[in-house]
Structure 1
Amino acid sequence: MSLRLYSQPLVITDSGGKDSLVCRELARRAGIPYEVQHNLTTADAPQTIYYVRDTFRKLEEQGIQCTVNKPVYKGMPVTMWTLIPQKKFPPTRGQRYCCQILKENHCKNRFITTGVRWAESVKRKNSRGVFENFTSDISRRTILNNDNAEERLLFESCTIKGKRICNPIIDWSNANVWDYISSEHLEANPLYGMGFFRVGCLGCPLAGKIRWTEFRMFPTYERAYQRAFEKMLEGIHAEGRQTKWKTAADVFSWWMEEETIEGQICLSDLEQWQSDNE
């Protein structure tokens, strides 16, 4: 379908994690034409960066095209540390602008695979399918969870451009993933051997309390977030706006979900941020 609809190979999106590793191996064993793309978040652990770099070098030696996509926002290069001051609000579970800009803003009008799995969250179980397409016309979007869906034939004959997604291991459990990696002797990101159960942006709010462990292991990233929060406050104050946060440390403490402290954000702060970014 990728070759027929887009005249380009299937794109295997690679975050550097275990699920991406399995998807790469499945594509290789399938014998299909494919390429691999990695979206640079700028907040990944050094081990992930080195792992992706080494993996891409080996794939390129095999003739597989590999691309590292650098993030862009409003037409300009951006990093996690410059994005936060621009947004004037820390990324949270409910406001994940970082994912949209740093991870999901590439591969437009391409057919891609991801390592999304239902076992990762209830939300994904309820909203993600084996097969997905995304177009600007919501009424034309399709999510299929089995090969016998009535929409499948109609969808495959549709030539409307847009991002199409295949999630080949969506029904795999964590045990399935690790059993496959072990049985096929695949080389996984070394972070897993250091006790990490997930690989992604350090400090991600979705990681919960494990973030404290991440920052103990990688203190440079904690300092980077604090500097970004400081610049964020400077930008807010430069516009004449007020916030109950007094220092970058206050922002960081709230962001890390510590006990309520003086400077805790209120609902009006969030409403103001949403209004400024509409």
Structure 2
Amino acid sequence: MTDLSVLPGAARASAIELYARKTTGHEFRVEAAIQWLKRAAEQHAGHVVLANSLGAEDMVLTDLIARHQIPIAIGTLDTGALHAETLALIPKIEQRYGLKVEVYRPREEAVVQFVRKNGEKAMYQSLELRKGCCQVRKLEPLGRMLEGRSAWVTGLRHEQSKNRSDMPAHEIEPNGRAKFNPLVDWTWADVWHYIASHDVPYNDLHDQFMPSIGCAPCTRAIAVGEEFRAGRWWWEDEKAKECGLHVSTAHPVDAAQKEAPAHA
């Protein structure tokens, strides 16, 4: 693999310059995403939240929610192990859009106990320990974010990984909660064309060849030819690369998942 960081001019190229391209059907996909967001807000009024990972896709969704004044709450997880560049987006969102970001953090005592028992680098030792770390830092706080809510919104896309290639735009989880994925059929070029067109704030780490960004110990830059999520948990088998936030036996709601809901 070639390290992108050593390519001529790579240090000067922003993510927008590298990835933003307008493709056929972009306007349709934007409108479809807006309609999915409106549908989520209407069907689950006051009980729906965008789980904003602070990645490029979720910044697009945040912009759409704010731009079209769609009543969906914005929540994020501060795992205690995020890059400073990631955390810097929280005040940027609040200042740019005038939206309050709900921040959910892991239980301090649970983190202390996990680290005391397994060490600071437990995630590298085994898949079980890595998932244990995700449970403490991500899944438990996510549970609190979703408590009392009947629906949530994510920035998941088919392109991101093989595990997500057949994911529907609207599904119902085993616990009955609805999950909306408005960007399922967006391409990486779509995401960045939207960001460029609307001057959406984004994580500076995207300019350092990190398309998928998680906790600092579990994220690295990718190289030419590597898959989108190759920089996440790169020491693990590809099939294991989920933290548990988006692994479920949820079933699709709509027969034609790639079609947008009818206009309101």
* TM-score normalised by L of structure 1: 0.55
Render the CA deviation track for 1:149-170: whole Å, top value 9, x for unaligned: xxxxxxxxxxxxx432101101
**Unaligned 5+ residue runs, structure 1?**
137-161, 211-254, 259-278
- The structure that has the greater radius of gyration is 1
- Are 2:157 and 2:164, in contact at CA under 8 Å, matched by a contact in 1? yes
- Equivalent residues of 1:134, 1:163 under 8 A apart: yes
Matched, 1:193 2:198: no
Closer/same/farther in 2, CA of residues 4 and 172 from structure 1, 3 Å limit: closer
Task: Give distance in 1, aligned partners of 2:49 and 2:204.
Answer: 24
TM-aligned CA distance change 1:193 to 1:44, over 3 Å? same
**Offset at residue 28 of structure 1 (A):** 2.3
1: distance between equivalents of 2:178 and 2:109?
26
Cα deviation for residue 52 of structure 1 reads 1.8
Q: Secondary structure at the match of 1:198?
A: coil
1:71: how far off? 1.2
Contact 1:119 1:173 in 2 (8 A): yes
CA distance in 1, matches of 2:234, 2:114: 18
SS at match of 1:123: helix
Partner of 1:118: 158
Higher RCO, 1 vs 2 (CA within 8 Å, ≥6 residues apart): 2
CA distance in structure 1 between the aligned counterparts of 2:103 and 2:44, rounded to whole angstroms: 21
Residue 38 (1) aligns with residue 76 (2): yes
Matching residue within 93, 105, 109 for 1:70: 105
Tell me if structure 2 keeps the 8 A contact 1:2–1:9: no
Q: Distance in 1 between matches of 2:55 and 2:234?
A: 24
Instruction: Kindly provide the amino acid, as one letter, of the partner of residue 157 in structure 2.
Output: R
Q: 153, 167, 171: which is aligned to 1:132?
A: 171
Match of 1:91, SS state, is: helix
Q: Choose the corresponding residue for 1:173, options 180, 184, 187.
A: 187
Which amino acid is the alignment partner of residue 122 of structure 2? P
Counterpart CA distance in 2 for 1:181 and 1:7 is 27
1:101 is matched with 136
Amino acid at match of 2:63: E
The share of aligned pairs that are identical, in percent, is: 24
Secondary structure in structure 1 of the residue aligned to 2:178: strand
Give CA-to-partner distance per residue, 1:123-172, whole Å, 9 cap, x none: 1124x321122234xxxxxxxxxxxxxxxxxxxxxxxxx43210110111
Q: 2:60, 2:195 within 8 Å by CA — same for their partners in 1?
A: yes
Classify 1:47/1:166 alpha carbon distance in 2 versus 1 (closer, same or farther; 3 Å).
same
C-alpha contact 1:39 1:70 (8 A) present in aligned 2 = yes
For 1:104 and 1:31, how far apart are their aligned partners in 2? 29
In the alignment, what sits opposite 2:217? 203
Q: C-alpha distance in 2, partners of 1:135/1:101?
A: 22
Give 1:40 deviation, angstroms. 0.9
- Alignment length (residue pairs): 180
CA contact under 8 A between 1:41 and 1:71: conserved in structure 2?
Answer: yes
The answer to whether the 8 A contact 1:38-1:68 is kept is yes
Residue 132 to residue 57, structure 1, CA distance change in 2 (3 Å): same
Distance 1:58 1:83 in 2: 37
Give the counterpart of 1:48 among 78, 83, 86.
Answer: 86
Q: When the two structures are superposed, what TM-score results if normalisation uses the length of structure 2? A: 0.57
Q: The residue matched to 2:88 in structure 1 has which SS?
A: helix
Distance 1:115 1:199 in 2: 13
| Unaligned 5+ runs, structure 2 | 1-38, 223-232, 237-264
Check whether the contact 2:79–2:138 (CA below 8 A) recurs between aligned residues.
yes
- Indicate the SS of the match to 1:203: helix
Change (3 A) 1:193 1:134: same
- After superposition, residues 246-265 of structure 1 pair within 5 angstroms as 257=235
**Does the CA-based 8 Å contact 1:84-1:91 persist in structure 2?**
no
